[in-house]
Chains A and B, each alone.
Chain A
Amino acid sequence: MNAAFLILSLLAVAGALLAIRLHNLVHATLSLMFFFVALAGLFVLLMAEFIAAVQILVYVGAVGILILFAIMLTPHVTGENHGRLCSRGWIWGLAGAGAVFLILIAPVLLMAGLDTPPATAALSPSVREIGLVLMTPYGIALLVMALLLTAALVGAVVAASPPARDKDEPKP
């Protein structure tokens, strides 16, 4: 465990906690994005550069902006005039959080008895590996996803084109 890991995980936990606790939705989203960036840093520590870049590209650049777009359309952003949220379901929340925590901690505890594998100094160029794996064993899945995304792109273009005008409608 090194200093960079400690700092990044502390930042990530702080960001996640703030994202839950802050009443102001925009501030909460900001700290959520802060958490995503810290997570990308953790991926870099794991030598998964590509995943880190995609993490920032998808979560901060796309998902975060999407959340902000949704928030922009809500009237009560600051969360001040609503007081506390209804906290009746805290038992269920605690149970859910405990279950997730157990699922996360169980493999670590089970694997504690095994020998730790030696740390690798450097991995082979990861992007090339990911590309090869994507194109050979998972080629069909990749093609299906590509088709889906292309359809979505074409759909966006169709949605953007003006609707066909009725014959009865007066000409502008």
Chain B
Amino acid sequence: MILDNPDQLIVNLVQQGLDLLSGFPIVVLVLCLLLSTVPLIAIFPACFAITTWLERKGLARIQNRIGPNRAGWFGLLQPVADGIKMLLKEDIVPRAGDQLTHFLAPVLLLVPAFTVLAVLPFSRNMTPAAADTGVILFFAIGSVSTLPVFLAGWSSHNKYSLLGGMRAIAQMVSYEIPLVLSTVTVVMLTGSLNTVRIVEAQQVSSWVLGDNAALQILGQVLKWNVFTPWGFIGFLIFFVASLAEVNRCPFDLPEADSEIVAGHLTEYSGFKYALFFMAEYISAFAISGLAVTLFLGGWSGPNIRPWWSDDPQALLIPGFVWFFLKMFALILAMIWIRGTLPRLRVDHLMGFAWKFLMPLALLNIFVAGAYYYLPRWIGWPAGFVVLYVCYEWLGRINRGSLGPKRTYRYA
């Protein structure tokens, strides 16, 4: 029966549909191609629309405003209104600029943003491209996104755009290092670069396959990488570095809207401008999805087997529900941080990546190695203690002097 496993309902339905067409291999091939790409291209822009509304509403509440409330119920149609406005706006290209690359930059920026989504495991058997090299592929394709940022800055023929692009690239290249180093620990302890394997390694399979419902719930939560010392610090480094990687506050210097207008996208208008923001939000989804996969257990969450089912792998709540819940929790944290923290200064930004995050990520790799060989009851507390000491030590080294004490004669 098809309802035996609600988790796999969509996968099974699709599989049965494809089985009906097995006489036409070309049709099946085309359908498979469409099935693994169209949902990504349809769902994530929809998430983008919802997130713009969430962000505007959330920031407004943090700042004691109401936020968009005219278009639709609670302003929910605001993204539609914004989209129509952006589409109807005039597209201005600087006359001295490079026409071709000015057009190519926003398009090229969307390509890696969408492509990296393919390696994320949204649920069991729901990975568009379950490559053996998933994690490396993610970073390889993600690293291409520095190129269109440069092109946008250069093709505008505007020195402020070019400087903005240069700053953006410097930031993205710098923060890629702690980002990748923090994932090394997960790859080391899982022994695989495959994202599906990484998620499966974060479940206690004997508990999940057992009969005890409480153990089934615990078995899908307790082994998340974030509950280990290296995973905890790794997750924090990954999250902070991913904020910088997708130009979110407090690292949004490349487009600091209140100070330098918009950096590399100063000369963009209309729908090209909207495409830049779409690419930025979709990379934010992708990198949060990777954080969920690597540290927060991917599709596994507090979940039980449906009582009517005999299939030992059946799950009551579909895995992608947990995946998207966790992903949106990270996005909400990003919005919260944007409403709370001020922007960093550019030298502090670089110093933070090179002098604090990178050494901490390197030390984290050593701790992960020790954790692997030590018995758990020593490794777990000792790992936390060592990493806390490292954190304090690095913080103290980087603190810098406050300068001579100021005296205020007339105050």
Contact = CB atoms under 8 A, between A and B. Distances in A.
Interface of A: 24, 26-27, 30, 33, 49-50, 53-54, 56-57, 60-62, 64-65, 68-69, 72, 125-127, 153, 156-157, 160-161, 171
Interface string B89-128: 0000000001011001000000000000000000000000
Contact of A61 (B137, B144, B154): B144
A171 B401 CA distance: 13
A65 B146 contact: yes
Given A160-B350, A171-B404, A153 B143 contact: no
Interface of B: 98, 100-101, 104, 131-133, 136-137, 139-141, 143-144, 146-147, 150-151, 154, 162, 166, 169, 173, 177, 193, 350-351, 354-355, 358-359, 362, 404
A69 to B, nearest CB: 7
A160 B350 CA distance: 9
A28 B312 CA distance: 57
A65 B154 contact: no
11 contacts: A26-B98, A30-B104, A53-B140, A64-B147, A65-B146, A68-B154, A72-B154, A72-B166, A157-B354, A160-B355, A171-B404
B106 to A, nearest CB: 15
Nearest to B139: A57
Contact of B144 (A60, A68, A157): A60
Contact of B132 (A30, A49, A60, A62): A49
A54 B131 CA distance: 14
B147 A26 contact: no
A61 B362 CA distance: 22
A156 B354 contact: yes
Is the contact region of chain A dominated by helix, strand, or loop, or is it mixed? Answer: helix
Contacts of B154: 26, 68, 72
Given A26-B101, A26-B154, A72-B166, A160 B144 contact: no
Contacts of B162: 72
Nearest to B100: A27
A53 B404 contact: no
A62 B104 CA distance: 20
B345 to A, nearest CB: 14
Contacts of B141: 56
Given A26-B151, A60-B147, A69-B169, 4 more contacts: A49-B131, A53-B137, A64-B147, A69-B166
A56 B140 contact: yes
Contacts of A62: 143
What 10 A-B pairs are tightest by C-beta distance, nearest first? A61-B143, A57-B140, A56-B140, A53-B140, A53-B136, A160-B354, A53-B137, A49-B133, A53-B133, A50-B133
B3 to A, nearest CB: 35
Contacts of A53: 133, 136-137, 140
B132 A125 contact: yes
A159 B131 CA distance: 38
B290 to A, nearest CB: 15
A69 B146 CA distance: 11
B147 A127 contact: no
A27 B101 contact: yes
A28 B273 CA distance: 26
A127 B351 CA distance: 34
B206 to A, nearest CB: 25
B202 to A, nearest CB: 20
A26 B137 CA distance: 26
Given A33-B147, A161-B355, A127 B132 contact: yes
Nearest to A171: B404
A129 B160 CA distance: 48
B387 to A, nearest CB: 19
Contacts of B350: 160
A81 B173 CA distance: 33
A56 B203 CA distance: 32
A157 B131 contact: no
Contacts of B362: 153
A157 B140 CA distance: 24
Chain B CB within 10 A, most for which of A49, A57, A61, A65: A61
A56 B132 contact: no
B78 to A, nearest CB: 36
Given A26-B98, A127-B132, A65 B147 contact: yes
A54 B136 contact: yes
Given A26-B101, A27-B101, A72-B154, A61 B136 contact: no
Given A57-B140, A60-B147, A68-B150, A157 B132 contact: no
A68 B104 CA distance: 16
B147 A68 contact: yes
A15 B177 CA distance: 30
Chain B CB within 10 A, most for which of A65, A69, A153, A161: A65
Contacts of B166: 69, 72
Contacts of A126: 132
A56 B144 CA distance: 8
A33 B112 CA distance: 14
Contacts of A171: 404
A118 B144 CA distance: 36
